[in-house]
Amino acid sequence: MSSVVNKLANATERESSETQALIAVKQLEKAALELVASYEDCACYAEAIREVPRAYQSSDQRTDFEKLIEAEVNKVKGASSTSLENHPLIRQFREAVWKVHHEGQSMPGDEQEDIVMTSTQTSLLNITCPLTGKPVTQLTEPVRSADCRHIYEKVPIMHYMKNQRPPKCPIAGCPRVLQVGRVICDSLLQVEIEELRSSGPSAPSAENIEDLADDEDDSNE
């Protein structure tokens, strides 16, 4: 009888501990969402302030810069379709929590993403810069859009955004409008590029594919 009581007590203690851990994780996630929301707001305001000199029109009347900035902020937020729930930083947080008890297992939803992975098995959406044609592994200063997740060389994409209105992503078919404050070298980009670089020979390049095609043609002749 005492052993049963002890088992029940231990089970209750474990359940209580797991419940407290779950509550703590939920509180951390809530704090993380608030931090990311603040980060996004700061990025929007920074981008809006950069746009003010272009939007400003001199006149005889006094300019209400508060309204001007507010209008630019609304434009920037309207052009952004990033959801906090799908933000890369929130995803990193959830992956870290998942790995505590599910190391080596895919998170729910990742299975569908695996289906659309490229033949190189990389999570990068593009492996060459659309402006320079260089592979992302050879870029001096790689940056990535926080909205569409495409990668570019920093200097050419900044020059492109400065001269294009609106500065749509140069990747063919991508409708996203780029924002200076949201085209950055995020914390995972260098890691993902290094993973692509280390995969090396296992990931066939365009030149390798062409060589194989030539060899096949020669054999058919």
Domains and CATH numbers, the chain: 1-55+65-102 (no CATH), 136-199 (3.30.40.10)
Residue 38, CB half-sphere, CA atoms under 13 Å: how many?
Answer: 6
CB-based contacts of 25, cutoff 8 Å, min separation 6 = 97
| Helix locations, 56-178, DSSP H | 65-79, 88-102, 110-115, 154-163
**pLDDT tens across 29-87, in order?**
888 888 888 877 887 777 778 777 777 777 777 877 788 888 877 877 766 656 677 77
Pair of tokens at residue 180: 């200076």
- Supply the pTM of this predicted model: 0.45
**pLDDT tens across 91-101, in order?**
778 888 777 77
